[in-house]
Amino acid sequence: MTRRLVITGLGATTPIGGDVPTLWKNALTGTPGAKTLEHDWVEQYQLPVTFAAEVQVEPAEVLARPETRRMDRSTQLGMVASRQAWKDAGLDEADVDPERLGVSFATGIGGVWTLLDSWDTLRERGPRRVMPMTVPMLMPNGAAGAISLDLGARAGARTAVSACASGTEALEMAIRMLREGEADVVMAGGTEAAIHPLPLAAFSSMQALSRRNDDPAAASRPYDVDRDGFVMGEGAGALVVETEEHAKARGATIYAELAGAAVTSDAHHITAPDPEAMGATRALRKALADAGASVEDVTHVNAHATSTPVGDKPEYTALKSALGDRLDEVCVSATKSQTGHLLGAAGAVESLLTVLALHDRKAAVTINLENQDPDMPLDVVTGQARELPAGDQVALCNSFGFGGHNSVVAFRTV
């Protein structure tokens, strides 16, 4: 007997909103999150890319001072999102058994600011000045551990680390935890705070980032013929996943069903997507099967669509292979056009936007799509938010990461 799982709480801090209502309002109208970076280090290191999508609300404005001192920025953002989701789910007033409460919180890179700042400290000021909190701040499970501590969650705190697929894989992990009966409630999500000169330089070196320095707002343009790379973003998304039984017993508001998910790996190339997209196609098919859904149920996809010249096409190929003619009836939102690419948080924030799309029957817009690449004839939501049809339906959220990671999550209306 499979336990039915539902989403009962949402939290986020992103470049286009420091909370879910602001994020959603902006996502529906179309809001570019990328801006020219105002940090001295951009000039100091002569970075080839001078813009990114930073969070709209600094975590220090929300968290207590000692908390910010003991958490890497990535954990800070995750904590902000987790607390919002917890409150939104009404769990601050509920009685959750700590041993039935789990955490599945992902990151792509972890505490990169702490790691590199500490290295600078060691070289410039010696080992005595290296902070004692350095290790718990830089470890990739730092956010999961800190959130479990914050919530008193004792059913296990897991961390998916699969580059840009991490955020959706966190939801896949949450499904496993709940279905296998390890927990009744899981705080799932992803976080990333890697707008640091080193990742910017490194992603630039591999020609992955847009160089549209003169017009950051127009730089993230998935499916457009003039797309030239992704835009680095930062932020966090959190979703409370709960068994339907547990949610109903406490009278929780249910946004959508978390119907299924799948993870596959390409074994093709460490960074390049498989041009035939077989791994991504399998992930889509497996996610639908896991959700007990057919292709005819699908009405909406929140695509991975990072705006790189090589990445967007294989995702189209996968969607076409997995959904066939049904793809003509499916509207696609490429919300990285607004938020930038949140790396390990991307799948969490985009899952959240997928959940809200089903809940409000409205798909978020894709901005900057002026000349759609004819190789990707998708029905992309542009201009204004798209009404989704009435009735039961399924929406998918895709994420793909360096390493050949593919993860797809399927949500259903309730």
Partner 1 sequence: MADKNEILAGLAEIVNEETGLETEEVQLEKSFTEDLDIDSISMMTIVVNAEEKFDVKIPDEEVKNLSTVGDAVTFIADAKG
Catalytic residue from among 164, 246, 331, 359:
164
Judge contact between 165 and 405, C-beta under 8 A. Answer: yes
The contact set with partner 1 (CB under 8 A) reads 64-66, 69, 128-129, 131-133
What φ, ψ does residue 402 adopt, rounded to 5°? -50, 140
Cross-strand partners of 407: 263, 399
Nearest to 81 by CA among 157, 192, 158: 192
How many angstroms separate the CA atoms of 123 and 14, rounded?
Answer: 33
Copy the structure tokens of residue 376.
């990707």
Catalytic residue from among 304, 331, 359, 405:
304
Catalytic residue from among 341, 359, 397, 405:
341
Q: Residue 124 is inside which H or E element, if any?
A: helix 112-125
Judge contact between 224 and 202, C-beta under 8 A. Answer: no
For partner 1, the closer of residues 127 and 391 by Cβ is 127
For partner 1, the closer of residues 41 and 119 by Cβ is 119
How many angstroms separate the CA atoms of 312 and 375, rounded?
Answer: 10
Answer yes or no: 341 catalytic: yes
Judge contact between 268 and 274, C-beta under 8 A. Answer: yes
Contact partners, residue 177, CB within 8 Å, separation at least 6: 102, 104, 155, 156, 158, 183, 186
Shortest reach from residue 159's CB to partner 1, in Å: 21
Shortest reach from residue 297's CB to partner 1, in Å: 50
Shortest reach from residue 193's CB to partner 1, in Å: 21
Copy the structure tokens of residue 106.
């992902």
Contact partners, residue 152, CB within 8 Å, separation at least 6: 98, 101
Answer yes or no: 397 catalytic: no
For partner 1, the closer of residues 115 and 345 by Cβ is 115
Shortest reach from residue 142's CB to partner 1, in Å: 14
Across 96-230, the runs of DSSP E, i.e. the strands, are: 101-107, 157-158, 185-192
How many angstroms separate the CA atoms of 125 and 115, rounded?
Answer: 15
Residue 335, CB-side half-sphere exposure with 13 Å CA sphere? 33
Shortest reach from residue 124's CB to partner 1, in Å: 13
For partner 1, the closer of residues 123 and 128 by Cβ is 128
Shortest reach from residue 74's CB to partner 1, in Å: 19
Do strands 394-401 and 298-302 pair parallel, antiparallel, or not at all (unpaired)?
parallel
For partner 1, the closer of residues 42 and 62 by Cβ is 62
For partner 1, the closer of residues 38 and 124 by Cβ is 124
Residues with active-site annotation: 164, 304, 341
